[in-house]
Amino acid sequence: MKVVYFTHSLASCWNHGNAHFLRGVLRELIRRGHQVEAYEPKGAWSRANLLADHGEAGLEAYRAAYPELTSIIYGPVFDPEEACDGADLVIVHEWNDPALVAAVGQVKRRGGRFTLLFHDTHHRAVSDPEAIGMFDLAGYDGVLAFGESLAEVYRRNGWDGRAFTWHEAADTALFRPPERAGERAGLVWIGNWGDGERTAELEAYLFAPAKAAGLPLEVYGVRYPDEAQATLSNYGVAWRGWLPNARAPEVFARSLATVHVPRRFYAETLPGIPTIRVFEALACGVPLVSAPWEDSEALFRPDDYLRVRDGAEAADALRSLRDDPDLRADLAARGLETVRARHTCVHRVDELMAITERLTASTPPVEEPA
């Protein structure tokens, strides 16, 4: 099978979490013998920011971890029909330009003999519906949504029977416990500031509890404005800046625990979407404490991580992890077991193949619903 994926960027994970999952999925497709082509636009903001901050050296970790992956960079003069020629499956991510999304749909409508899917891994369908409404999805066979609650948004807008839940997952070829256990100390949190979507939550469930528990905290991420850095400084948090995702396992390996602080939209409007860092952390065997979040799809077992209801409980949970090595070991083992059983990129490729087969066997799509 020939698979073509249009992404914002495969090479850069600077403020671009979809690259984490995409790399693992494409690698697994290649491992199974499929032909894979990834396309990303010239001047993509993620790659441009990475290169501005770190130069070509910023791409070294990705290239070393994924030597089998490459992407084709296209400019303004680009023929999507040529790119899709001979493809069996084409997937277009929602961070692409609306003109590109529409152009690929036109290729399909003019007789393209491939299954065409739109991949949505963001909350814009509810936080900025006008932006999603700009996409012309006529000709698309279906939508891949990274949570059931998001898929339901599409179903309510006419995609019933063609909106599929396709969660992110861990690339366990990269995200795994260290081969040799070393000394662990302190907490780590890997994530971007969040554009004001979880500012209060970070203070309540991460910064203040870490200080109350007496645990040093390292934070990695980008887009931390001056006021964010001032908050970190006030709590004695060490901000380390951008971390290539390919290096995240080594950071998790030296940390006692991590904390999940969902953005407000995933805690309130789109329940059941943990985002990829939870999968990656558990795959690395690091104990996890989670701020309030509804696991409405039962992705995890109750004891895969510690669930807290407020900042006081978060501080208590961190103290327990600090003082109880058996608790840390049990949590790490349970979380790892669940990820390996249900939430790897191998599982997601299996799901993708099943979705493609289902759509291939169905009747051709009609015009996009109003």
| 1-33 per-position pLDDT tens digit | 999 999 999 999 999 999 999 999 999 999 999
- Spatial CB neighbours of 18, under 8 Å, sequence gap ≥ 6: 7, 8, 93, 95, 119, 121
pLDDT of residue 8: 98
Intrachain domains 2-169+345-361 and 187-342 with the same fold: yes
User: What average pLDDT does range 108-137 have in this prediction?
Assistant: 95
Strands 2-6, 89-93: pairing is parallel
* CB hemisphere CA count around 14 (13 angstroms): 20
Largest CA distance in the chain: 64
Mean pLDDT of the region 299-322:
98
Residue 191 CB burial class (10 angstroms; 0-12, 13-18, ≥19): buried
Q: Could you tell me how far CA 271 lies from the centroid of its own chain?
A: 15
Q: Bridge-partner residues for 116, per DSSP?
A: 90
User: Does residue 363 surpass a pLDDT of 60?
Assistant: no
C-alpha distances in angstroms, 28 versus 22, 24, 25, 94?
10, 6, 5, 22
- Interval 253-265 mean pLDDT: 96
pLDDT (mean) for 269-281: 95
Pairing of strands 72-74, 257-260: unpaired
pLDDT tens digits along 35-56: 999 999 999 999 999 999 999 9
Strand partners, 188: 218, 258
- Contact at 8 Å (CB) between 121 and 19? no
pLDDT band at 364 (very low <50, low <70, confident <90, very high): low
Confidence of residue 131 (pLDDT cuts 50, 70, 90): confident
Tens digit of each residue's pLDDT (9 = 90 or more) over 155-205: 999 999 999 999 999 999 999 999 988 899 999 999 999 778 899 999 999
Rg (CA), the chain: 21
Rounded to 5 degrees, what angle do the CA atoms 176, 254, 66 make?
40
Distance in angstroms (rounded) separating the CA atoms of residues 86 and 221: 39
CA 222 to the chain's CA centroid: 16
Distance separating alpha carbons of residues 205 and 211, to the nearest angstrom: 11
Q: Which residues contact 55 (CB under 8 A, 6 or more apart)?
A: none
CA distance 93 to 363: 24
Q: Give yes or no for residue 139 having a pLDDT over 80.
A: yes
How far is 40 from 86, CA to CA, in rounded Å?
19
Which pLDDT value is given to residue 82? 97
Domain ranges of the chain: 2-169+345-361, 187-342
Structural fold of domain 187-342: Rossmann fold (3.40.50)
Distance CA 214, CA 199 (A): 21
Give per-residue pLDDT as tens, 212-224: 999 999 999 999 9
pLDDT digits (tens, 9 = 90+) for 313-362: 999 999 999 999 999 999 999 999 999 999 999 999 999 999 999 999 97
Q: State the chain's mean pLDDT as an integer.
A: 95
Ranges of beta strands (E only) in the chain are: 2-6, 35-41, 72-74, 89-93, 115-120, 142-145, 163-165, 187-190, 217-220, 238-241, 257-260, 288-290, 306-307
φ, ψ of residue 306 to 5 degrees: the values are: -90, 125
Tokens of 364: 């051709």
Q: What are phi and psi of 240, to 5 degrees?
A: -105, 0
How far apart CA 7 and CA 29 sit, in angstroms, is 16
Percent of the chain with pLDDT over 70: 98
Beta bridge partners of 38: 5
* Per-residue pLDDT, 370: 45
Looking at domain 2-169+345-361, its CATH class is alpha beta
Read off the pLDDT of each residue in 70-80 and give the average, rounded to a whole number.
Answer: 96
Quick one: pLDDT at residue 366? 43
Cα gap 76→95, rounded to integer Å? 17
Closest of 92, 94, 72 to residue 153, by C-alpha: 94
Pairing relationship of beta strands 142-145 and 89-93 according to DSSP bridges: unpaired
